[in-house]
Homo-oligomer: A and B are copies of this chain.
Amino acid sequence: MRQTRNTPQRDLVRGLLEENYSHPTASEVYELARRENPSISRGTVYRNLNLLAEGGEITRLRMPLGPDHYDFQTQNHYHFVCRSCHRVLDSQIPYDDALNLATANVPGCKTEWHKLILVGLCPDCNIKKPQ
């Protein structure tokens, strides 16, 4: 495994996720990071988000709508995404390990992980545009 170094940029990205429970997107992390370090580049934010995700420090959430989100919480859990504002919230449905173990789910296929995403309207958007 390739050695990694600590840099102010990486610490900043990690710290921003640690103190943000809103599942920010890469662009949102970039905007937050620029407040602390105006010269940080977009590429650096993406690179560090990827490195932290590969290292298991954070989770990358690929949504059925909109861009990827990042989560400091690494335990398996499900998410809700608002179809209007693309906000991501934690679901309280318990994670079901059995879905990975079942071999008969897809003939010949070995399921390694799964994701369940609930889609609908968040409280804010439900008020603004009820249907």
Contacts and interface: CB of A to CB of B under 8 A. Distances in A.
Contact of A122 (B104, B108, B114): B108
B106 A118 contact: yes
Given A80-B106, A90-B106, A102-B93, A121 B112 contact: yes
A1 interface: no
A65 B61 CA distance: 11
Count the copies. 2
Interface of A: 62, 64-65, 80, 82-83, 89-93, 99-100, 102, 104-123, 126
B80 A111 contact: yes
A83 to B, nearest CB: 7
9 contacts: A62-B65, A83-B112, A90-B106, A91-B106, A105-B118, A108-B122, A108-B126, A109-B126, A111-B120
